[in-house]
Chain A
Amino acid sequence: MSSAARTAVLRDAVGLGVAVGLYGVAFGAAADAAGLDPWQALVTSLLMFTGASQFAMVGVLGAGGGGPAAIGSALLLGTRNTVYGVRLAPLLAPRGLARRLGTAQWVIDETTALAVAAPDRGLARLGFLAGGATIYVVWNATTLVGALGAAALGETAQAALDAVVPAAFLALLWPRLRAGAEEPAVARRVALGGAAVALALTPFVPPGVQVVAAVVAVALAGRPREGAA
């Protein structure tokens, strides 16, 4: 592999690592708003280490949801990483149990994007490892900053934080709906359906359950049918 190609892969990895830092601060603040203490926020980032699932878990807890709904929504978003693992396995070919167990923790959106975009297997591994390491360090450090910062806020700042959390979810959703995303028209219908079902169920089910129920309802509405093309 050429050194120019290596430099390009490393630059992308570090760039992504810095970019996720902002989301780490937002996650730490959202975790605080949901009632997690800074240690719980940090342990979530250390052990779960998959942003969308982490946001979903604290989102449900913040809405007053119970444990099963919070865990269920985190797992629903975590299924993405299973698909990524299938794509990464032949590229990274982790040999031995210990290496596979370690590799698994860094299988996330960003490291998959880096590895899949690399021109050969050596650079794919480099991108995965450099991206994983950078993102892991920055994500955990910024989670702690966000959690400690939010814990020190007064009442008006808490009102600001309450408005930041749904805006952060919208910012995560937005790129999936924009032209250029995978089937944006379908994604928009799915998003509208999910929001509508969740709001309609809110008065009738325990907090948090409506979020998981909305996803299940939308998935069932789009299930494969006999005879469908």
Chain B
Amino acid sequence: MSPGTLWAVVLVASLGCYLLKLAGLSVPAAWVERPWVTRVVTFVPAALLAALVAVQALTSGRDLVVDGRLAGLAVAALALALRAPFIVVLVLAGATGALVHVLTS
């Protein structure tokens, strides 16, 4: 993606996110506070974040790929289950990814 296109993506997505914030302060509450709207908004993050975890850990372009990223993810899941702080989770995942890279290259 060219730098110009990237800038356009950054600016359009930023403007859109700002307008979503502004809309909440500006529209009548009844428009937003419907049961199905709040339900979708509650659960969209779980679906989106899980999809991103899967895609970031297991795909490269249109291929499914197993490499150090999956090992790092498994270690991260274990650390999260043991209630490790965020920074510890990231460091352990990164160290695992680097180790697999060194061992396999």
B contact residues around A83 at 8 Å (CB): 24, 32-33, 37-38, 41
A contact residues around B25 at 8 Å (CB): 85-86, 88-89, 92, 94, 100, 103-104, 107
Q: Is the CB of A169 within 8 A of B56?
A: yes
A113 CB–B CB distance under 8 Å: no
**Known contacts A163-B69, A170-B73, A198-B55: A219-B13 contact under CB 8 Å:** no
A contact residues around B71 at 8 Å (CB): 163
Interface of B, helix, strand, loop or mixed by DSSP: helix
A contact residues around B35 at 8 Å (CB): 224
Minimum C-beta distance from A228 to chain B (A): 10
Q: Is the CB of B48 within 8 A of A73?
A: yes
Q: Is the CB of A78 within 8 A of B16?
A: yes
A143 CB–B CB distance under 8 Å: no
Q: Is the CB of A170 within 8 A of B80?
A: yes
B contact residues around A129 at 8 Å (CB): none
Q: Is the CB of B18 within 8 A of A165?
A: no
A66 to B7, CA, bound (A): 13
B contact residues around A187 at 8 Å (CB): 43, 46
Against A, the Cβ 8 Å flags (1 = close, 0 = not) of B67-89 are 01101110111001000001101
Q: Is the CB of B20 within 8 A of A22?
A: no
Q: Is the CB of A48 within 8 A of B90?
A: no
Taking A47-B14, A89-B25, A207-B59 as given, write out 15 further A-B residue pairs in contact, using a Cβ cutoff of 8 Å, ordered by the A residue number: A53-B13, A56-B49, A71-B9, A80-B44, A83-B32, A87-B24, A104-B22, A163-B100, A166-B57, A170-B77, A176-B46, A182-B42, A190-B43, A199-B64, A222-B40
Report A's interface with B, CB cutoff 8 A. 22-23, 26, 35-37, 40, 43-44, 47-50, 52-53, 55-57, 59-64, 66-67, 70-71, 73-89, 92, 94, 100-101, 103-105, 107-108, 155-157, 159-174, 176-177, 182-183, 186-188, 190-199, 202-204, 207, 210-211, 214-215, 218-219, 222-224
The 4 closest A-B CB pairs, nearest first, are A85-B24, A163-B97, A163-B72, A167-B93
Q: Give me 26 A-to-B residue pairs in the complex whose CB atoms sit less than 8 angstroms apart, sorted by A's number.
A: A22-B86, A40-B7, A43-B11, A61-B1, A77-B48, A78-B16, A78-B20, A80-B44, A83-B37, A83-B38, A86-B27, A88-B25, A92-B25, A100-B22, A104-B25, A156-B101, A159-B98, A159-B100, A160-B94, A161-B94, A164-B72, A167-B73, A176-B45, A197-B51, A211-B55, A219-B44
